[in-house]
Amino acid sequence: MGAKPKRSHLMKWKGIIGKKGRHRSRRARHVLHARVGGKAQAREFSRRIGILLCLAGSLATAALVTSVGMDVILGRLLYSNPDFTLRRFQVEQQGKMGKGELVAATGVRIGQNLLRIDLEDVKQAIQRLPNVAAVRVERRLPDTLFMAVEERRPVALICPTPSAGTQLAQPTYYIDARGFVLKPKPGEKLMSLPIIRGISGDEVVEGERTNNPDLKSALLFLKVAPLAPVRDGLDCSVIMIEGPGRFLVSTPRGGKIRFRSGYLEEQFDRLGVIFDYAESKGRIVHTVDLTPERNVPVTFIN
């Protein structure tokens, strides 16, 4: 008879088989738990997304209702409130323009709702006036519209030359430092300012900024000449524009100085040398032509 397996060997094999079975059972349970857990998490995620979407929709609806409600509330409390009715204009200006002229230019009337007035429209309406350089407009609650107006300041008078074929006398205009042409008011006594002559009437348009280079040069001369070392030897009361690129200025003793339109500082320096020479010789400058770059023509009176 064959030998029977030993008891110890049988027990060993049963232990091994039992362990393998338990391992398979645990793996199955783990897989099942993972599958069930994954589905539960997906359902929970979907539920949360649904809640968020419902909440977002509710907030959007509430915002829409609130916006419409606020418009109605603002309309009643502000735009239809008699407390914000315009009752007066407050105008701050330094110049010759009258308050009535400025108020009329705004197009705004007493009795309008102050909060409904477009301040930018009011500002642009006033800036269209030729004599206005800058303006600031404010609401001063509950019933006042405030306007601070800066008027243009003329620095010279323009006496235009009649255009070809024109026999009528040309009107006199003001011009400010930036070149804006202004017309004096009817019957106004003209200000005592330097006079610029020699400009054609076609070049002068009321309410517009000049593009004439010779007129711009004359304005620049009036700005810098009072600061030049030779200022005491110049009479800037009249500037005669002789042609493109040159103009004529007198001296206090009746002399004539011809300038080029550009390089004024350089010409002031050259003129200073001439004045110094004339003084050292006891002579009076009669004419100087600074338009040539070299060999400046000069005449003297002994």
Asked if residue 282 and residue 143 are part of one domain, the reply reads no
Which range marks the domain in which residue 258 is found?
154-301
Final residue of a domain: which of 151, 173, 199? Answer: 151
Asked if residue 145 and residue 158 are part of one domain, the reply reads no
Asked if residue 163 and residue 113 are part of one domain, the reply reads no
**H-type alpha helices, 174-263:** 213-224
Ramachandran region of residue 107, left (φ > 0), alpha (ψ -120 to 50) or beta? left
- Per-residue pLDDT, 170: 74
CATH number, position 181? 3.40.50
Q: How many Å apart are CA 147 and CA 250, to the nearest integer?
A: 43
CATH number, position 125? 3.10.20.310
- In degrees, rounded to 5, the angle at the alpha carbon of residue 160 between the alpha carbons of residues 159 and 161 is 125
> Is 210 contained in some domain?
yes
Asked if residue 220 and residue 184 are part of one domain, the reply reads yes
> Is 207 contained in some domain?
yes
Rg of the chain in Å (alpha carbons): 46
Asked if residue 296 and residue 180 are part of one domain, the reply reads yes
- Per-residue pLDDT, 34: 47
Asked if residue 98 and residue 137 are part of one domain, the reply reads yes
> Is 72 contained in some domain?
no
Final residue of a domain: which of 151, 176, 210? Answer: 151
**β pairing state of 195-200 and 235-243:** parallel
3-state SS, residue 50: helix
How many CA within 13 A on the CB side of residue 186?
0
Query: Which DSSP string corresponds to 147-190?
Result: EEEEE--EEEEEEEEPPTT--SPPPPEEEETT-BEEPPPTTPPP
Final residue of a domain: which of 126, 151, 176? Answer: 151
Ramachandran region of residue 217, left (φ > 0), alpha (ψ -120 to 50) or beta? alpha
Asked if residue 222 and residue 184 are part of one domain, the reply reads yes
> Is 62 contained in some domain?
no
> Is 271 contained in some domain?
yes
> Is 121 contained in some domain?
yes
- Per-residue pLDDT, 223: 97
Asked if residue 267 and residue 161 are part of one domain, the reply reads yes
Asked if residue 217 and residue 127 are part of one domain, the reply reads no
- Per-residue pLDDT, 122: 97
> Is 262 contained in some domain?
yes
Asked if residue 199 and residue 184 are part of one domain, the reply reads yes
Domain count, the chain: 2
> Is 191 contained in some domain?
yes
| pLDDT tens digits in sequence order for the chain, 302 residues long | 445 554 555 455 455 545 545 555 555 454 445 455 556 676 775 676 667 667 767 676 666 656 555 656 666 667 788 889 999 999 998 888 899 999 999 999 999 999 999 999 999 999 999 999 999 999 999 999 999 999 999 999 999 988 765 656 678 999 999 999 999 988 889 999 999 999 999 899 999 999 999 999 999 999 999 999 999 999 999 999 998 999 999 999 999 999 999 999 999 999 999 999 999 999 999 999 999 988 999 999 97
3-state SS, residue 248: strand
- Per-residue pLDDT, 70: 62
Asked if residue 144 and residue 159 are part of one domain, the reply reads no
Give this prediction's pTM.
0.70
- Per-residue pLDDT, 119: 97
- Per-residue pLDDT, 95: 82
- Per-residue pLDDT, 91: 96
Asked if residue 192 and residue 112 are part of one domain, the reply reads no
State the burial class of residue 91 (Cβ atoms within 10 Å of its Cβ: 0-12, 13-18, 19+): middle
- Per-residue pLDDT, 55: 72
**β pairing state of 132-140 and 195-200:** unpaired
